[in-house]
Amino acid sequence: MRNLILGLSLSVAFIVGCVAGPALMPRTTAAPAVQAAPGTPRWEYKCFDENGATDIQTKVNQLGQAGFEMVAASSNNDYANGDAYFCFKRRLP
């Protein structure tokens, strides 16, 4: 009998908490979109994955000639298919 009363008490407390919880929580709103300040640089990004050294060298050279710089690269250990992943960026005018 004692276990039954304890179980019912815990169940009632749980239900009351679930019902009252949202009413007691402060409401949050998403922050408004922030416009970039004048003069703040804006960037264009290009990312690709490859597994052939010739293909990688060709793409990297093309992106470098177009004004991109490498900002990230991952080893082929991170991907099941053995590809390497590269990301580049360049400043927008």
Rounded to whole angstroms, the Cα distance separating 5 from 76 reads 59
Q: Tell me what pLDDT residue 40 has.
A: 86
Q: How many separate domains does the chain show?
A: 1
Predicted model pTM: 0.52
Amino acid (1-letter code) at residue 32: P
pLDDT of residue 69: 94
Q: Give SS3 for 27.
A: coil
Q: Which domain holds residue 28?
A: 2-91
- State both tokens at 85: 């992943």
Distance from C-alpha of 36 to C-alpha of 12, rounded to nearest angstrom: 51
Six-digit token string for 74: 């991952």
Using the structure block, give the residue that is written with the tokens 């908490």: 17
- Measured CA to CA, the distance from residue 84 to residue 27 in angstroms comes to 43
* pLDDT of res. 63: 92
- pLDDT tens, position by position, 35-93: 767 888 899 999 888 777 777 888 889 999 999 999 998 876 655 566 778 899 999 88
Reply yes or no on whether the pLDDT at 25 is more than 60: no
